[in-house]
Amino acid sequence: MSRRPQSFWSNVAALAYKEAAVLRHDRPFLAVVFVQPIMMLVLFGTAVSNKPANVPWAVLDRSHTAASRRLVEEIAVTGYFLPPTPVASYDEGRALLRRGDALAFFVVERDFARRLERGGAPAQVLLDGADPLSAARVGAYIAQVGAAFRVEPASNRVGPHAPIARGGPIELRQRFWFNPTLRDRDFFLAALAAMLLTNLCLSATSLALVGERESGTYEQMLALPTTPVEIVLGKLIPYVVLCYVEVIIALLPSGLIFGFWPQGSWLTIFAITLPFVLASLAIGTFISSIATNSAQSVFLAVFVIMPSFVLSGVIMPYQLMPDGVRQIGGLLPLRWYQIALRRVIERGAGLADVALPVLVLTAIFAAMLTAVAWRMKPRLG
């Protein structure tokens, strides 16, 4: 306290200059700092949208008339939907909804054309209510087409006595599956475990190897009579146990407090969680293997976590994202885990129904484990 103020502030300035010089030469850290806001700006400016697009849907046309085909065509040309998937039965259409391969199932009854000429024709729309926002908007777009649908004149005559195209209102009957009341809470609670595990896995393991390097024990670890794969798996196993505890913490309160229990088996949830946890932990370990210091590792982990939340579909349906961005999101483990998790929790799917996400997660884990083992291979210099 007896020091002069000038001496105090000069010391602070000297240390600040030293740290700034070190920071200025840490190019990977600076690259992450400047690239991350640009990346998030592009994602939120182009990829995130509440407007439906690329909506997969199925059609059961029992009428097989020109009017029913024209109605389906008018819905398709709105620009919000992919080409419809024709189905032959109700069961086939419901199966597409249950698997998540269709967000809407449109049914045209046999007497559609006859009742349309009399002033009203029934049509049914089954919507995947697991995503309330998308279901409500998709249903509204189909209802708009039905309300504007017109009956074409039965004759090609022209003149004052020619038949005029009459309004043919469609009696649209909407039904929401998996979330009949369209509660937003269910949509987010179903993926709560996925978001928590992503944050835990990447944050925890991103410091695993770089911490060893900074403490001076990295070379000693490599000198042990173990292979890099054995070292990585040994470091990951404790976190796997912790992740399962996190899953239980995420699911139990959702059921006890909000009454939102998984429709599928808990064993299936635990089975699909393992490849996701291993893939996420491996990504975090790979980040730690390429980072030169702890600060850089943390920033790289955040660089992966934030795009994962945006592109995976846990917050915004990935089906609504434009081409290119949607495919990039498919490289992230969180995309496939949230698909499998929501199918089990909301639709009651079994292990066979989530086989594809499990295989993709397993492939991601194998690729990242290989990359980490390559990075940890002892090298001269």
- CATH number of the domain within which 112 lies: 3.40.1710.10
Regarding whether 207 and 151 lie in a shared domain, the answer is no
* Whether residue 144 has pLDDT greater than 50: yes
Residues 99, 354: Cα–Cα separation, whole Å: 8
Band of the pLDDT at 252, cuts 50, 70, 90?
very high
> Smallest Cα–Cα separation from 317: which of 147, 182, 188?
188
Q: Give the per-residue pLDDT at 303.
A: 81
Regarding whether 279 and 217 lie in a shared domain, the answer is yes
Q: Give the per-residue pLDDT at 377.
A: 63
Return the half-sphere exposure (C-beta side, CA atoms, 13 A cut-off) of residue 282: 27
Place of tokens 């199925």: 58
Q: How far is CA 57 from CA 49, 84, 348, in A?
A: 19, 5, 20
Q: Give the per-residue pLDDT at 247.
A: 94
* Whether residue 315 has pLDDT greater than 80: yes
Regarding whether 193 and 84 lie in a shared domain, the answer is no
Q: Give the per-residue pLDDT at 381.
A: 44
- Its domain, for residue 173, covers 57-182
Q: What is the mean pLDDT of residues 102-118?
A: 86
- Report the sign of the C-alpha dihedral through residues 216, 219, 221, 224, in that order: negative
* Whether residue 160 has pLDDT greater than 60: no
Residues 169, 55: Cα–Cα separation, whole Å: 24
Residues 206, 191: Cα–Cα separation, whole Å: 23
pLDDT in tens, 40-75: 676 666 666 667 778 889 999 998 888 889 899 999
Q: What is the mean pLDDT of residues 303-323?
A: 82
Q: Give the per-residue pLDDT at 339.
A: 92
pLDDT in tens, 211-244: 666 666 666 666 666 677 777 778 788 889 999 9
Q: Among 56-60, 77-81, 129-133, where is mean pLDDT lowest?
A: 129-133
Q: Give the per-residue pLDDT at 248.
A: 94
Regarding whether 209 and 76 lie in a shared domain, the answer is no
- Report the sign of the C-alpha dihedral through residues 294, 329, 348, 362, in that order: negative
Regarding whether 200 and 148 lie in a shared domain, the answer is no
- Report the sign of the C-alpha dihedral through residues 150, 155, 157, 162, in that order: negative
> Smallest Cα–Cα separation from 105: which of 142, 150, 145?
142
Judged on CB neighbours under 10 Å (0-12, 13-18, 19+), 21 is: exposed
Q: Which of 140, 163, 182 is where one domain is finished? A: 182
Write the CB contacts of 40 (distance below 8 Å, at least 6 apart in sequence). 306, 307, 310
Distance of CA 170 to the CA centre of its chain: 34
What percent of the chain clears pLDDT 90, i.e. is strictly above it?
A: 27
* Whether residue 317 has pLDDT greater than 80: no
Q: Give the per-residue pLDDT at 212.
A: 65
Regarding whether 141 and 80 lie in a shared domain, the answer is yes
Neighbours of 231 (CB within 10 A): 20
Q: Give the per-residue pLDDT at 80.
A: 87
Q: What is the mean pLDDT of residues 278-288?
A: 90
Residues 66, 113: Cα–Cα separation, whole Å: 8
Regarding whether 345 and 233 lie in a shared domain, the answer is yes
Regarding whether 143 and 91 lie in a shared domain, the answer is yes
Tokens at 160, concatenated: 């004052």
Q: Is residue 19 part of a domain?
A: no
Distance of CA 141 to the CA centre of its chain: 23
For the ranges 201-205, 297-301, 332-336, 349-353, the maximum mean pLDDT occurs at 332-336
Residues 370, 376: Cα–Cα separation, whole Å: 10
Residues 310, 338: Cα–Cα separation, whole Å: 12
Regarding whether 216 and 97 lie in a shared domain, the answer is no
**How much is the pTM?**
0.76
Regarding whether 178 and 284 lie in a shared domain, the answer is no
Q: Is residue 222 part of a domain?
A: yes
> DSSP code of 119?
T
Q: Is residue 261 part of a domain?
A: yes
Regarding whether 229 and 154 lie in a shared domain, the answer is no
Judged on CB neighbours under 10 Å (0-12, 13-18, 19+), 203 is: middle
Regarding whether 74 and 175 lie in a shared domain, the answer is yes
Q: What is the mean pLDDT of residues 178-194?
A: 88
